[in-house]
Structure 1
Amino acid sequence: MEAFDEGEIVEPVSPTGQYLTSSSLSIYILAVMETEIPIDDSQTVPLLQNLFLPINSRFSSIMIKDKNGDKKWKKVEVKLGDHIKVPTFQSGNKSSNFLYDEYLDEYMSKIAVEHLPQHRPLWELHIVKYPTSKAMGTLVFKLHHALGDGFSLMGALLSCMERADKASLPFTLPSSQRPKSPIPNTKVVFKRLPSILLRTISEFGWSLLKSNLVEDDQTPIRSCSEDAKIRHINISDVSFSLDLVKEVKSKLGVSINDVLAGVIFFGIRLYMQESSLKSSQGQSTALVLLNTRNIEGYKSIKEMVEKTNTSSAWGNQYAFLHVPIPELTDSKYANPLEFIWEAHKEMIKKKNSLATPLTGMLLDMLRKLRGPEAAAKYLYSTLRNSSTTISNMIGPVEQMAVANIPIKGFYFMVAGSPESLTMTIMSYMGKIRIAFGVEKDFINKQLFKSSLENSLEIIIEAARQIKA
């Protein structure tokens, strides 16, 4: 990291940005776009120069330390050629019908673990021109999490895209159709206060224990290996119609996120049971990432970078919820919808406590008293002691295009976490994509994928048995 020179134009790195670029943690986001036609990269440089870089100064800045040791963003001249990577795969197969799925998988695994150079802005664009079973080409944006969270970076990517059907129209996002809760009166607030306080004490106390003392059991999804900082991962995904999720949602009267959490939890337990029968009842916890902005959709880039805008501002604004993964008992196997009900109850319980803001205050206090490295170590142990993280993003309903290249598939992955399993959820064009990064040579990628697919099928069948 470069030293600070007097007179340089800099801005401070956010507290979360400092945690994510520490000796304990270095987290990256891979945004993967699968193209419908072969990629013509002749417009790459002007698109990045004219559309991507102006979005936020962080895309043309490096991280430095000032004379007090505080991290700052320093604007630099960007040499775009250093950020654009076009790999060459040597297959030995000259057939025009040859598909490069295995080569792409290996390449994704390789770039996921590589650290970006600190002497240039913390992002890269990988242009893979080889066809796979899913696409004619693949674009992979690798961005350091310190640049912003998924909400910020998704807004940035969407600002570089246009609708494939009609470029002049804006993107639309699927409606959550979540009814707004009425504002409770003072009497109701005071009546609920004791239960909120008790729940907060319980949830915050459990969060402290999980982050410091209580580790999840060693299971087929948690290796407990010591080399967590250099853990190699394999990336794969499952895809299915959003309408199937909505069908289950309407049957049970829960949210789409509740259904997806239930599908994931049941799928995880099916995989664990298949790998080791005893492990299906081991103690496992998921860290569910929660966007803390008070917003309903992506704002314009101008709104996001506005200094006075706190509700949808650019940056890292998220929190973790510790959600236990239900054990796979005989009764739950007979009625897998219990996984959805338990996820629903846990999420309601945790959102109705003050544990999340208290955890944020604790991290901030650690940073002020002991420095950002201490806060980063606390965040690292929170991740290390759990079994998986789950993050969720909403993509547009319409098909995207960049430089007249239609994007047929879209998902993202988070790399650099000390866990053996990382999961992400993305909606795009009426489909749900659950992607997962699994520890190489530990978690069986194909078996895990089939477990998720089986979970969805079993849950849909169970929901259809419910009489209207």
Structure 2
Amino acid sequence: MAANDSDEPVTPAGRLFLQPKTNQVIHCIVGLKNPIDAEAIKPIIRDSLMLQHPRFTSLMVRDHRGFEHWRRTEVDINRHVKVIDSPVSTTAAAGDDESAVNEYLAELCIENLSADKPLWEIHVLVAHKCLIIRIHHALGDGISLMSMFLANCRKVDDPEAMPTIVSFDRKKSSRWNWRKLLGFVVTLWFCVIFSIEFVLRCLWIRDRRTVLSGGAGVEDWPRTMATAKFRLEDMKVVKKAVANATINDVLFAIISSGLSRYLDFRESNGLKNGVQITGIAMANLRPQQGLQDIKNMMRSNSGASWGNKFGMILLPVSYLGSNCPDPLEYVKRAKAMIDRKKQSLEAHFPYAVGDFVMSTLGAKVACLLNYRILCNTTFTISNVVGPQEEIMLAGNPVTFLRANNSALPHALTLNMVSYAGRADMQIQVAKDIVPDPKFLAKCFEDALLEMKDHTLAKS
């Protein structure tokens, strides 16, 4: 197909997500308080800010050389909105909306979007008062898409106001002193170490096999899903127990402790303390951290640009066993490790390498390297901070926000979204490898409660 002059080339990161081995769709799950008026959904979508963005009104086409482009087209809302009136599960108990929606999501995780229309769709689960927004990763990352979604919402306590968009400016000082020089040397050292580690992961180093290990081809295996639920107040209690800790430190400590609990239960031969498995985390690379002003993002000259602006970070988890005498040890280890990652430019290195490989060697080579590092690690984790006040969509209060993505060669994928004082983690697993995701979810929940109880007992 010949490219038109008006066609816009797909970005290198977008091209990566269009390759067969790394074809990714993001799912945003929105729970609503009141029954859904299915007939009112389509005109609301038609008039939304989403359809003012060219990515959501463009087809992905390939020219005669195989290069991907965006081509503007007319959007037929009826092809993008799928209304399902009846319950979506025959196995979930009556009234168990969470299990029913998770079962439906698990099926979507191995289902691609049709390329004969713009790469998004919305599933309206009327019986479960839930929306599932499916958007191809080539259109944007989690920060872009969450910012887009919130631009179409309003505060419950102020129906005319948009949700608060949280952003954190990185403070930079132009004044040099010995501390800054020392920090530069440390950063340079960590950059070298973590870059070498990343390259070795791409080439041959891989995690020891455990009951959580995936591998090549696992992205096509059937999926199942569960939800772990946390109170942000509990996480803040634990955070205060370790000096200068952050919520992200606590989150990774929960994952480390929860996985240790689960491995204790599943590994029949036992594991030695200190055995390491590795996760891949996605780090936002925009100048402003947090959610963005969507109108600012849509401007081409904006520093907080729309699209995929994230890098990978390798996060090692050390198995400590369930008999660890101090649950806060997980927080201390997580903080020490993440602090080193923050001092480096580790997240920028994979992004720069990927961009270079895409530009010089092509999408197939970049896809192969990305796929290898996924096969050589054990799990994926992402964390998107949502609004802390209650919001509503089209006048209907939102009860929860969750997210997950298409299947990866990992057998375990963790996606967390916080909203209105709580944080929900979607746990997606290859069900032939991890048959009990609800038990794994309880391992994570119990890990946080144990840390909180230990903290309160010491105070």
Q: Secondary structure at the match of 1:342?
A: helix
Give the structure 2 partner of residue 152 of structure 1: 144
Give the structure 2 partner of residue 367 of structure 1: 358
* Distance in 2 between residues matched to 1:369 and 1:91, nearest whole Å: 47
TM-score (norm 2): 0.92
For structure 2, which runs of at least 5 residues remain unmatched after alignment?
none
* Distance in 2 between residues matched to 1:445 and 1:294, nearest whole Å: 36
Cα 1:401/1:193, change in 2 over 3 Å: closer
Q: Secondary structure at the match of 2:318?
A: coil
Q: Does residue 227 of structure 2 align to residue 237 of structure 1?
A: yes
Cα 1:187/1:308, change in 2 over 3 Å: same
Give the structure 1 partner of residue 429 of structure 2: 438
* Distance in 2 between residues matched to 1:337 and 1:273, nearest whole Å: 19
Q: Secondary structure at the match of 1:247?
A: helix
Alignment match of 1:291 (pick from 273, 276, 284):
284
* Distance in 2 between residues matched to 1:367 and 1:123, nearest whole Å: 24
Q: Does residue 138 of structure 2 align to residue 138 of structure 1?
A: no
Give the structure 2 partner of residue 134 of structure 1: none
AA aligned opposite 1:406: P
1:227-306 to structure 2, matched below 5 A, reads 227-253=217-243, 254-276=245-267, 278-279=270-271, 281=273, 282-306=275-299
Q: Secondary structure at the match of 2:427?
A: strand
Give the structure 2 partner of residue 113 of structure 1: 110
Q: Does residue 43 of structure 2 align to residue 49 of structure 1?
A: no
Cα 1:81/1:279, change in 2 over 3 Å: farther
Q: Does residue 329 of structure 2 align to residue 338 of structure 1?
A: yes
Alignment match of 2:403 (pick from 395, 398, 412):
412
AA aligned opposite 1:4: A
* Distance in 2 between residues matched to 1:231 and 1:174, nearest whole Å: 37
Cα 1:200/1:179, change in 2 over 3 Å: closer
1:193 positional shift? 3.8
AA aligned opposite 2:267: S
1:149 positional shift? 0.3
* Distance in 2 between residues matched to 1:98 and 1:465, nearest whole Å: 37
Contact 1:43/1:403 (<8 A) preserved: no
AA aligned opposite 2:188: L
AA aligned opposite 1:372: A
Q: Please give the per-residue CA displacement for 1:308-341, whole angstroms capped at 9, x wherever unaligned.
A: 112x1100001111111022157x7111211111
AA aligned opposite 2:393: V
Contact 1:249/1:256 (<8 A) preserved: yes
1:86 positional shift? 2.1
Contact 1:22/1:373 (<8 A) preserved: yes
Higher mean C-alpha deviation, range 278-287 or range 401-410: 278-287
What is the aligned residue count?
453
Give the structure 2 partner of residue 172 of structure 1: 164
Q: Please give the per-residue CA displacement for 1:139-161, whole angstroms capped at 9, x wherever unaligned.
A: 10011111100010001111111
Q: Please give the per-residue CA displacement for 1:210-259, whole angstroms capped at 9, x wherever unaligned.
A: 122111122121143x4223132212212222111111112212011101
Contact 1:326/1:339 (<8 A) preserved: no
Identity among equivalent pairs (%): 25
Higher mean C-alpha deviation, range 457-466 or range 207-216: 457-466
Alignment match of 2:450 (pick from 454, 458, 465):
458
1:138 positional shift? 1.0
Cα 1:279/1:38, change in 2 over 3 Å: farther
Q: Secondary structure at the match of 2:109?
A: helix
Cα 1:287/1:461, change in 2 over 3 Å: same
Contact 2:167/2:291 (<8 A) preserved: no
RMSD: 2.4
Alignment match of 1:216 (pick from 185, 207, 224):
207
* Distance in 2 between residues matched to 1:120 and 1:450, nearest whole Å: 40
1:298 positional shift? 2.6
Alignment match of 2:394 (pick from 385, 394, 403):
403
Contact 2:26/2:134 (<8 A) preserved: yes
Q: Please give the per-residue CA displacement for 1:391-414, whole angstroms capped at 9, x wherever unaligned.
A: 111111222212221111111112
1:301-380 to structure 2, matched below 5 A, reads 301-310=294-303, 312-329=304-321, 333-380=324-371
Q: Secondary structure at the match of 2:70?
A: strand
Give the structure 1 partner of residue 59 of structure 2: 62
1:451 positional shift? 0.7
Q: Please give the per-residue CA displacement for 1:361-407, whole angstroms capped at 9, x wherever unaligned.
A: 22222222211211111111112211111111111122221222111
